[in-house]
Amino acid sequence: MGRGRVQLKRIENKINRQVTFSKRRAGLLKKAHEISVLCDAEVALIVFSHKGKLFEYATDSCMEKILERYERYSYAERQLVANDSESQGNWTIEYTRLKAKIDLLQRNYRHYMGEDLGSMSLKELQSLEQQLDTALKLIATRRNQVMYESISELQKKEKVIQEQNNMLAKKIKEKEKIAAQQQAQWEHPNHHGVNPNYLLQQQLPTLNMGGNYREEAPEMGRNELDLTLEPLYTCHLGCF
């Protein structure tokens, strides 16, 4: 048969208890060292004997550092637990408050829709009627305000469009006027001035091959032409 499970209880014999303490303490310190080396863990071991003697082990002899870290961690854990408990209580209160508010809103909604009116008293019905009248007045006021704002906005847009149309019409008239003037100049080029060809004909009389001028030319024109063309005739006769 296998070895039975040993029941743990206090050793009554003082000597045996001291021997067992020494052996178990040495084994515990050894195991603490092994786990710190094998697993790269920070280990702190504190043991007090029944006489109050202290036995300790700390990784790299940093007992204070490990204890300080333990204090920070344990404090954070305690705060977290306390906050969770407090939050749980707050959530319960908040849930109850919100549920009551939802029930009230649902009941009021049914009343506004004309449902579940049988359980309401005369005073409650009068209050509900007053609330509905006030709501209808507010709705009508808001409706009129929205309509007025819409009409004002449309009037502003209409004014802008009308100004743009007037500007475009003015530009079109100006372009039509310019085009009409250009067309009139092309159709009647001598309407506002004298034809340059006519002036040239008036200044230069016709010259005949025999050297005589036309009889119908004016006298003043003939004299001026004689003075102008005399050197030309002299050169012409001398060259032959």
Buried b (16+ CB within 10 A) or exposed e, 137-157: eeeeeeeeeeeeeeeeeeeee
Alpha helices in the chain (DSSP H): 14-39, 63-112, 122-187, 196-203, 219-239
Residue 217 confidence (pLDDT) = 44
Q: What three-state secondary structure class fits 59?
A: helix
Query: pLDDT tens digits, residue range 168-215?
Result: 999 999 999 999 988 888 887 655 444 545 444 554 455 444 444 444
Residue 216 confidence (pLDDT) = 45
Query: pLDDT tens digits, residue range 83-97?
Result: 666 666 678 888 888
Mean pLDDT over residues 133-141, rounded? Answer: 93
The pTM assigned to this predicted structure is: 0.34
- Residues across the chain: 240
CA 87 to chain CA centroid, Å, is 37
Mean pLDDT over residues 103-132, rounded? Answer: 87
Q: Which fold has domain 12-61?
A: SRF-like (3.40.1810)
Q: Kindly state the tokens that stand for 46.
A: 């504190």
Q: What three-state secondary structure class fits 47?
A: strand
